Amino acid sequence: MWGFRVGDRRVVTADGVRIAVHELGGRGTPVLFAHGAGLHGLVWRPVAENMGADVRLVSFDGRAHGDSGPAPGPELDWRGFGLDALGVIDGLGLVAPFGVGHSSGATALLLAEQERPGTFGGLYCFEPVLVPADPPLGRDPDSWLAAATRRGRATFASRHEAHEHFRSRKSYAAVAPAALRAFVDHGLADLPGGAVRLKCSPEQEAMIYEMGAAHDAYPRLGEVRCPVVLARGELTDAVAPGAFPDAATRLPRARIEVLAGLGHLGPLEAPAAVAASVRLFVTGEHLDEPASGGRA
């Protein structure tokens, strides 16, 4: 039914980065998935499997993630992730796709629409990173999240050890088994002797966090004129109170959706619920299993 084609295609961005593309199945209205920092495009596979076959589902590995090439410079400017999305759209010839993004991936889609207005038919943004500052604050070399990430492990004796390591971490406790398996299967490169290492290194991921307040997505929200869903998990600790209402007032066509029982990793925690919410936005149709939560 699905005919997954994993990373068998590369596109090149406007600044010369080779991006790995994953066809996740279906035919019809195109839907482009963008992952968060440290992850990769195939963590969206469990969501795609619950979306139905009447939409074309595509994801990609952002620069410095998965099987994509490195960024052209040492700083991972988030505008580059927006260029990755535009490169996929151009390379595949997608017309007015719906964008679905998580965390920094959601921000990347907003940046892509700001770079090229009218690109998307709509954007479903699950907890985008939008620092309320105009002008942007710039790089934060003292980011606590970056410091914590640099202390993380990069190599493991085996893929099984890596899986057990992430499964035991508090931040991954609520992640669905299929999503965790997808992350481990594609997110680590094989080394001699059976060892594996993260394709997106702790240093690269930390740099992404340091650059989280250096982009200008927030002050330019008014330029995003397509419909936007600002989705968040009911239990999230990553969205400040009032952040989404503020962002929604700046976006010309936005609504807020709260998904019950989910945290910041919502798309990985409850793929079926998120798929139902996304599908309702894209097609106006519920799946058999409705999304948890409601609209605000």
Express each pLDDT in 228-258 by its tens digit. 999 999 999 998 888 999 999 999 999 999 9
Q: What is the pLDDT of residue 286?
A: 58
- Regions of the chain with pLDDT less than 70: 1-7, 286-296
Domains and CATH numbers, the chain: 5-138+214-295 (3.40.50.1820)
pLDDT value of position 68: 97
| Token pair of 264 as six digits | 């910041």
pLDDT for 289 equals: 41
User: Phi and psi (nearest 5°) for 258?
Assistant: -110, 125
Q: Is the dihedral of CA 23, 25, 31, 37 positive or negative?
A: negative
Report whether the peptide linkage leading into residue 192 is cis, meaning its omega lies within 30 degrees of zero.
Answer: no
How far is it, in rounded angstroms, from Cα 25 to Cα 150?
A: 36
Q: What is the distance between the alpha carbons of residues 67 and 193, in angstroms, rounded to a whole number?
A: 21
> In residues, how long is the chain?
296
Tokens 């992730």, residue?
81
Global pTM value:
0.93
Rounded to a whole number of angstroms, the distance between the first and last alpha carbons of the chain is 35
Residue 127 neighbours by CB under 8 Å, 6+ apart: 102, 103, 106, 231, 232, 233, 236, 238, 239, 264, 266
